[in-house]
Amino acid sequence: MTPQDIKNRFGIIGGSPLLDHSIRTAMQVAPTEITVLISGESGVGKEVFPQIIHQLSARKHGPYIAVNCGAIPEGTIDSELFGHEKGSFTGAHEARKGYFEVANGGTIFLDEVAELPLSTQVRLLRILETGEFIKVGSSKVLKTNVRIVAASNTNLPDHIRNGKFREDLYYRLSTVPIYIPPLRERKEDIPLLFRKFASDFAEKYRMPVLELSAEARQLICDYRFQGNIRQLKNLTEQLSILEKNKLITGQTMAQYLPPASGNPLPVLFKEESGANPEYSERDLLYKVLFDMKKDVTDLKRIVMGILQSPPDDITLDNRAAMPENRNTAVAPITPSMPTEQAAITIQKPGEYNKVEAHEVIEESLSLADKEIEMIKKALVKYRGKRKYAAQELGISERTLYRKINEYKIEI
């Protein structure tokens, strides 16, 4: 049996190599008894692959049950999967068999397995390891022989890091993973699917079949279908019902394509051991502030280096000799020279100014010196009144008195 035979039998449309690879994997694991985890986005058709595995296995004559774990309330999920005894909880008027007991000898498909509560995940892990389970409200251990195929449209490793999914259960379920590609990874299949849906709706509503212009075909091939096949099918049905002209142009198609949700551009991602893989707004602000602080520090270091040790080969005479500076030259401004004393000297052609030696006074970076300076300024401002000076400095009067004695500041 070939992948094309499987497509014909189960109504799968497409010739993408990624899709063919997924089908071949399902065909290879079907005769075995190992568990399979099917992953893929919502609307890609994950529900077809458990049927392929079941029909090509030795269990094909046994029951096949598909369970949507996300559609069952958390309070009743254990009862639905494992059954319950009469009177085990309010409303349990009679005993009931669970899906694992009913599917004995067959296959059970757990769709959206990431939605299972942690307590239910423990019960599921026991079935995978020993085939045993206990009904709700019972103490009797029962045995079942089922093959489990699970599916999820979310990233289970992320759920594991967030403490929402058991790691040991993940490895038991994903013995063989099967990935179903989204439509944006198999664009060559989009026109084929559109043609199939258009034909089905034309027969259902008794109307002519839709046709696509070259521009409209290019539009749907370039569009990022977030809902995948399900969204494409809904789009085709809308066009079939609402458009009288069955030749769909690019302008008409653009009116029915909603703005694609999500950002296809790269996003920030933080991969640290034991850390949340997502950036919070606070993390981003901290990162920006730290980067700015680093840039300012580097800039200060460069400026101080230039002021303390200017290059020997760059002099005022050399700059004046350059074409753009031949007629004017600017006297250097040093930290020790007040800005209002700096003068601009107009130099005539052929004349050169002599640069007089100057001293660069380096500012003290000592915290004690800065503290003494601020205390003195506050005391001068309030004419020696320690109470108001302490309020200005943001410290207690007692602390100010201690620091005056410590630094031997004369008032």
Please give the pLDDT value at position 342: 41
Residue 353, pLDDT above cutoff 70: no
Question: How far apart are the C-alpha atoms of 293 and 121, rounded to whole Å?
Answer: 48
Average pLDDT over residues 216-241: 94
Token readout for 10 is 């189960």
Please give the pLDDT value at position 227: 92
Report DSSP letters for 349-409, one per residue. TT--PPPPP----PPP--HHHHHHHHHHHHHHHTTT-HHHHHHHHTS-HHHHHHHHHHHT-
Structural domain boundaries in the chain: 3-181, 184-256, 281-346, 367-407
Domain 367-407, CATH class in plain words: mainly alpha
Q: Do domains 184-256 and 367-407 have the same CATH topology?
A: no
CB 181 within 8 A of CB 16: yes
Token readout for 245 is 């002209």
Residue 129, pLDDT above cutoff 80: yes
Place of tokens 């004995």: 104
408 falls in which pLDDT band (50, 70, 90)? confident
Token readout for 292 is 């700015």
Average pLDDT over residues 366-374: 80
Residue 267, pLDDT above cutoff 80: no
Query: Of 337 and 129, which is predicted with more confidence?
Result: 129
Please give the pLDDT value at position 24: 96
Q: Output the CA–CA distances (angstroms, integers) from residue 221 to 12, 177, 184, 232, in the order listed.
A: 19, 28, 8, 11
Out of 233-242, 310-319, 361-370, pick the least confident. Answer: 310-319
Please give the pLDDT value at position 411: 72
Please give the pLDDT value at position 263: 52
Provide the angle, in degrees to the nearest 10, between the axes of the packed helices 367-381 and 397-407.
120
Question: How far apart are the C-alpha atoms of 27 and 38, rounded to whole Å?
Answer: 14
Domain with residues 184-256, CATH architecture: Orthogonal Bundle (1.10)
Residue 168 is given by DSSP the state H
CB 133 within 8 A of CB 123: yes
Please give the pLDDT value at position 51: 96
Please give the pLDDT value at position 8: 93
Average pLDDT over residues 279-304: 69
364 falls in which pLDDT band (50, 70, 90)? low
Please give the pLDDT value at position 184: 93
306 φ, ψ to 5°?
Answer: -70, -40
Question: How far apart are the C-alpha atoms of 86 and 225, rounded to whole Å?
Answer: 48
Average pLDDT over residues 166-182: 95
Please give the pLDDT value at position 321: 43
Average pLDDT over residues 145-156: 95
Write out the H or E segment, with its range, that includes residue 296. Answer: helix 281-308
Average pLDDT over residues 17-41: 95
Question: How far apart are the C-alpha atoms of 126 and 166, rounded to whole Å?
Answer: 13
CB 83 within 8 A of CB 131: no
3-181 folds as Rossmann fold (3.40.50)
CB 178 within 8 A of CB 39: yes
Residue 309, pLDDT above cutoff 90: no
Please give the pLDDT value at position 354: 47
Residue 244 is given by DSSP the state S
- Cβ neighbors of 134 (< 8 A, separation 6 or more) are 82, 123, 140, 141, 142
- Type of residue at 179: Y
Please give the pLDDT value at position 75: 86
Provide the angle, in degrees to the nearest 10, between the axes of the packed helices 3-10 and 17-29.
90
Q: Output the CA–CA distances (angstroms, integers) from residue 168 to 34, 140, 382, in the order listed.
A: 16, 25, 71
What is the rounded (10 degree) CA torsion for 353, 359, 362, 364? -150
Report DSSP letters for 176-207, one per residue. EEEEPPPGGG-GGGHHHHHHHHHHHHHHHHT-
Q: Classify the phi-psi angles of 129: left when phi > 0, otherwise alpha if psi is within -120 to 50, otherwise beta.
A: alpha
Residue 56, pLDDT above cutoff 80: yes
Please give the pLDDT value at position 314: 45
